[in-house]
């Protein structure tokens, strides 16, 4: 449930069978998050929120509502750009280096630039690329794509895997290092 609050903006309320009391935290988007016992009525949720305002402001590092909205807007733009650009670039590099994958997915996890998965049932492969890639220089973006493509042949980070990455991107060590200056989270 989402409460629209004049001070905190959108407050995410989770009614949780396991929680025994009210807990406040910050979501990855910088919003206030409340966890309350499952059967807590809405009016009580609002009362808890109102009586905890000062405590929340002094203890939690929340983003103000306009920053929250700006982040949402930015994420939406990156998502659109990523959906247009990444599948095209992935296909291009796969063709250039002779890789075949089955599915492509855009992700927005805050910790990973990409992933390559082989599904147990039918052995089909999915490559996911993070929308945050739209914010890094093209050579680093290509490095991530090459990295995930090389996983189609090596589902690990073995010597053979890195040798394959290096055969397509001779400067991969430098690119990998530079990528650490960026974060996939938006
Ligand atoms: Zn990897």
9-31 pLDDT per residue, tens: 999 999 988 888 999 999 888 89
Look at residue 90 in the predicted model and tell me its pLDDT: 98
124 CA distance to ligand 1 middle (Å) = 18
pLDDT digit string (tens) for 115-151?
999 998 899 999 999 999 999 999 999 999 999 999 9
**How many C-beta neighbours within 10 Å does residue 122 have?**
8
Beta-carbon contacts of 35 under 8 Å, excluding residues fewer than 6 positions away, are: 14, 16, 19, 22, 23, 24, 25
Query: 34 with 80, same domain?
Result: no
151 CA distance to ligand 1 middle (Å) = 7
Query: 56 with 95, same domain?
Result: no
Residue 158 domain boundaries: 74-179
Query: 107 with 153, same domain?
Result: yes
104 CA distance to ligand 1 middle (Å) = 16
Given a contact cutoff of 8 angstroms between Cβ atoms, the answer to whether 35 and 25 are in contact is: yes
Look at residue 136 in the predicted model and tell me its pLDDT: 96
pLDDT digit string (tens) for 35-51?
999 999 999 999 999 99
C-alpha–C-alpha distance, residues 131 and 12, integer Å: 24
Q: Is 159 part of a structural domain of the chain?
A: yes
**How many C-beta neighbours within 10 Å does residue 109 have?**
15
Q: Which two tokens stand for residue 95?
A: 């063709």
- The number of domains in the chain is 2
**How many C-beta neighbours within 10 Å does residue 111 have?**
8
C-alpha–C-alpha distance, residues 9 and 66, integer Å: 8
21 CA distance to ligand 1 middle (Å) = 40
Query: 38 with 126, same domain?
Result: no
């Amino acid at each position: 449930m989402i409460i629209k609050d004049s001070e905190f903006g959108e407050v995410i309320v989770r009614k949780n069978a396991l929680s025994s009391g009210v807990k406040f935290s910050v979501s990855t988007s910088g919003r206030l998050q409340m966890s309350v016992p499952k059967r807590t009525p809405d009016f009580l949720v609002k009362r808890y929120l109102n009586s905890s305002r000062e405590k929340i402001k002094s203890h939690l590092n929340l983003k103000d509502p306009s920053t929250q909205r700006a982040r949402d807007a930015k994420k939406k733009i990156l998502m659109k750009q990523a959906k247009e650009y990444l599948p095209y670039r992935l296909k291009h590099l796969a063709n250039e280096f002779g890789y075949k994958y089955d599915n492509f997915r855009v992700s927005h996890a805050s910790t990973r630039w990409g992933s390559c998965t082989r599904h147990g049932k039918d052995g089909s492969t999915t490559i996911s690329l993070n929308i945050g890639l739209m914010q890094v220089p093209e050579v680093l973006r290509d490095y991530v794509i090459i990295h995930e493509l090389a996983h189609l042949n090596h589902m690990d980070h073995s010597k053979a895997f890195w040798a394959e990455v290096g055969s397509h991107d001779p400067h991969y060590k430098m690119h990998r290092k530079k990528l650490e200056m960026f974060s996939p989270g938006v």
